[in-house]
Chains A and B, each alone.
Chain A
Amino acid sequence: ETGVTQTPRHLVMGMTNKKSLKCEQHLGHNAMYWYKQSAKKPLELMFVYNFKEQTENNSVPSRFSPECPNSSHLFLHLHTLQPEDSALYLCASSQVAGGLGNNEQFFGPGTRLTVL
């Protein structure tokens, strides 16, 4: 596989469920990102990982828990979500996230999450 892949592509879950989103990049990048895209809202950066270390957490509620076991894989663990968390969750990767941020990001197709 090439590029950035995300699974599952669609997920429906109840508020009491626990689920995980998976992202994998095959580009040799060392930075990975989670974004939330809601209708009529800007893309919201949630988390940034640089060389497996979390370098950014944009005041994301604790019901979202990221995990980055290595530079190629990124997970987003979900538990006790709310209906307003329904959105498209996008994963991206890039070369080194530090410094001047001059690197373009490569995005996966996203996971469409619906919380009932």
Chain B
Amino acid sequence: AQKVTQAQTEISVVEKEDVTLDCVYETRDTTYYLFWYKQPPSGELVFLIRRNSFDEQNEISGRYSWNFQKSTSSFNFTITASQVVDSAVYFCALSEGRTSGTYKYIFGTGTRLKVLA
């Protein structure tokens, strides 16, 4: 069965430190998509990145970078030089297609990141 595990419930770092949020997934499909979302205190989830299962190239966007490794079924997210504004709950999500033409979208339990000034 498909599953997304974010083992880190809460992480606290001091501003300017680097931090990595872990995401491990399980799926039987060969075609699937992985996502990261950020949920600031305001409540709405904000899309950060999408990666499909055929593209293992790592991605960097400013201070954010993502490391996708199919061999370990992991899709980890690193924030470099963290800032107080990065404080939020971060969710990893998996979607995979089904024969019915719909898809299943599964979220992890989230990691709460606290960046201290």
Contact = CB atoms under 8 A, between A and B. Distances in A.
Interface of A: 4, 40-43, 45, 48, 50, 55-56, 88, 90, 92, 97-102, 104-110, 112
B44 A43 contact: no
14 contacts: A43-B110, A48-B102, A50-B102, A97-B102, A98-B101, A98-B103, A99-B103, A101-B102, A101-B103, A102-B33, A105-B105, A106-B47, A108-B44, A110-B44
B95 A101 contact: yes
A98 to B, nearest CB: 5
| Interface of B (DSSP majority class) | strand
Contacts of A56: 102
B47 A105 contact: yes
Given A41-B109, A43-B107, A99 B97 contact: yes
A111 B37 CA distance: 19
A66 to B, nearest CB: 16
Contacts of B101: 98-99
| Interface of A (DSSP majority class) | loop
Given A42-B109, A43-B91, A88-B43, A104 B103 contact: no
Contacts of A41: 109
Nearest to A101: B103
Contacts of A50: 102
Interface string B34-46: 0101000011111
Given A107-B45, A109-B44, A100 B31 contact: yes
Contact of B107 (A40, A42, A88): A42
Interface in B14-58: 31, 33, 35, 37, 42-47, 50, 52
Contact of B50 (A90, A92, A102): A102
B45 A90 contact: yes
A105 B101 CA distance: 18
A97 B102 CA distance: 7
